[in-house]
Amino acid sequence: MKRLAVRLLTSTALLFVGTEVLWSDPLLEPLPLQTVQNQKKAALGRALFFDPILSRDGTISCAHCHDLENGGDDGRPRSVGIEGRLGTLNISASIGVALYPDNGENIMELIKNADNAMYLAKSMGKNNFQFFVPELSRRMHRRLEIEQGLNKALKNGEFWLAFQPQYHLDDHSLYGAEALLRWESEELGIVAPDEFIPVAEETGMINAIGKFVFEEACKTLARLDAEGFSLDNIAVNVSSKQFTEKGLPEFFTDTVARYGLTPARITLEITERYIMDTSAYDDKLLDTFKELGFGISVDDFGTGYSSMSYLKKLPIDTIKIDKSFIRDIPHDTSDNEITKAIIVLSGSLGYKTVAEGIENAEQEHFLLEHGCHYGQGYHFSRPLPFDEFVDFVRSRAKEEEKAAL
């Protein structure tokens, strides 16, 4: 982390620079940390410390840009490539900017605010810069509250799982359920997963939380079995960050065995964005889960730019069409076309398709007509707490019995 002050004609800006190493070649990973740090320093020196200029229209530029690759016209800091013995090491920077005196009248305040702005830059996909704005203080404060709340949430038993039924589109029979995490914090009240999962990921708490989710999902499946309402499948969301945890496959198999279940009844939902980012994980891990017998579903499909050639190599069972495409069916022709194309693509690769976010009969009809296998959404059922979910499963079972008579 580097801090540097840039003196302008009218004011001073404090830049907080965080660097990220982007591995362009997995062979580079064994490079000793010290080497990486030295290279990072050298590259940053070339990229940023030579005359960084903060111009009045708010863009940052560098006077000596001959070492920089790609981009830059948009005002983003550019990533820097370093030729190493095994390939190219790409380094990018996330920069937070605090202006004196508007964003702080003393150095400590300026550093704090530039640091906050840098974290915003990192959370916005890295390799960009952000100015401090007062709103950021509120966001950082909220983030801190969430982080502190999460620290004790597991111990205080503040998490629970909701289950959203998944069904066969053709006959409305129950196929399974997706386990969705809920957090009722003592201090903050109900916090949405979209808000707290990213914080749990950043802080590493997702590992313990993910284990809790997996265990609870298995416990629920076993409880349903014991009550005589066997469910074929339960889908569990697995965060990309959990993939870096050692011993995850062993934990999953041990837990499944402890509850007397088989891995085939558990589907791991992994987002397409993550699956496509092969640099971020050991891609053998997906094969490992598959070999152990777990189902694998690509979540939020359509948002992560998969290539067909890559997709067909993956050990996956289902593709889950992202709800953003389902929302405006059948009125938005491009969403109709994309959805149809995903179903055809998925079928041609031998995968099953699930549509999430089905909110009305029109959408359901469209999906069924075009060959989608499974559905999930408010139209069929909202995510339900365990007791309500059992009632739901019980009443479906009765209806199915009646229909069979």
Shortest distance, position 59 Cβ to Ca ion, whole Å: 36
Among 115, 158, 300, 364, interactor with ligand C2E by CB under 6 A: 300
Query: Per rule CB under 6 A, is residue 193 in the interface with ligand C2E?
Result: yes
Nearer to ligand C2E, 300 or 335 (CB): 300
Write down how long the chain is: 405
CA distance between the termini of the chain: 71
Query: Per rule CB under 6 A, is residue 375 in the interface with ligand C2E?
Result: no
Query: Per rule CB under 6 A, is residue 378 in the interface with ligand C2E?
Result: yes
Query: Per rule CB under 5 A, is residue 164 in the interface with Ca ion?
Result: no
- Give which of ligand C2E, Ca ion, none residue 335 binds (C-beta under 5 to 8 Å, depending on kind): none
Among 177, 197, 234, 314, interactor with ligand C2E by CB under 6 A: 197
- Give which of Ca ion, ligand C2E, none residue 357 binds (C-beta under 5 to 8 Å, depending on kind): ligand C2E
Shortest distance, position 236 Cβ to Ca ion, whole Å: 9
Query: Per rule CB under 5 A, is residue 115 in the interface with Ca ion?
Result: no
Query: Per rule CB under 5 A, is residue 158 in the interface with Ca ion?
Result: no
Nearer to ligand C2E, 302 or 357 (CB): 357
Query: Per rule CB under 5 A, is residue 269 in the interface with Ca ion?
Result: yes
| 3-class SS string, the chain | CEEEEEECCCCEEEEEEEEEEEECCHHHCCCCHHHHHHHHHHHHHHHHHCCEEECCCCCEEECCCCCCCCCCCCCCCCCEEEECCCCEEEEEEEEEEEEECCCCCCHHHHHHHHHHHHHHHHHCCCCCEEECCHHHHHHHHHHHHHHHHHHHHCCCCCEEEEEEEEEECCCCCEEEEEEEEEEEECCCEEECHHHHHHHHHHHCCHHHHHHHHHHHHHHHHHHHHHCCCCCCEEEEECCHHHHHCCCHHHHHHHHHHHCCCCHHHEEEEEEHHHHHCHHHCCCHHHHHHHHCCCEEEEEEECCCCCCHHHHCCCCCCEEEECHHHHCCCCCCHHHHHHHHHHHHHHHHCCCEEEECCCCCHHHHHHHHHCCCCEECCCCCCCCECHHHHHHHHHHHHHHHHHHHC
Query: Per rule CB under 6 A, is residue 356 in the interface with ligand C2E?
Result: yes
Sign of the Cα torsion 239, 243, 246, 251 reads positive
331: its two tokens: 């009125």
Query: Per rule CB under 6 A, is residue 237 in the interface with ligand C2E?
Result: yes
Among 194, 228, 387, 404, interactor with ligand C2E by CB under 6 A: 194
Number of residues near ligand C2E (by CB under 6 A) = 20
Query: Per rule CB under 6 A, is residue 318 in the interface with ligand C2E?
Result: no
What is the footprint of Ca ion within residues 283-312 (CB under 5 A)? 299-300
Shortest distance, position 329 Cβ to Ca ion, whole Å: 16
Query: Per rule CB under 5 A, is residue 272 in the interface with Ca ion?
Result: no
Among 116, 237, 318, 346, interactor with Ca ion by CB under 5 A: 237
Shortest distance, position 173 Cβ to ligand C2E, whole Å: 19
Segment contacting ligand C2E by CB under 6 A, of 107-115, 302-310, 353-361, 366-374: 353-361
Query: Per rule CB under 6 A, is residue 50 in the interface with ligand C2E?
Result: no
Nearer to ligand C2E, 122 or 320 (CB): 320
Look at the block and give the residue holding tokens 């502190």.
Answer: 148
Residues in contact with ligand C2E by CB under 6 A are: 164, 180-181, 192-194, 197, 213, 237, 239, 299-300, 323, 356-359, 377-378, 383
Residues in contact with Ca ion by CB under 5 A are: 237, 269, 299-300
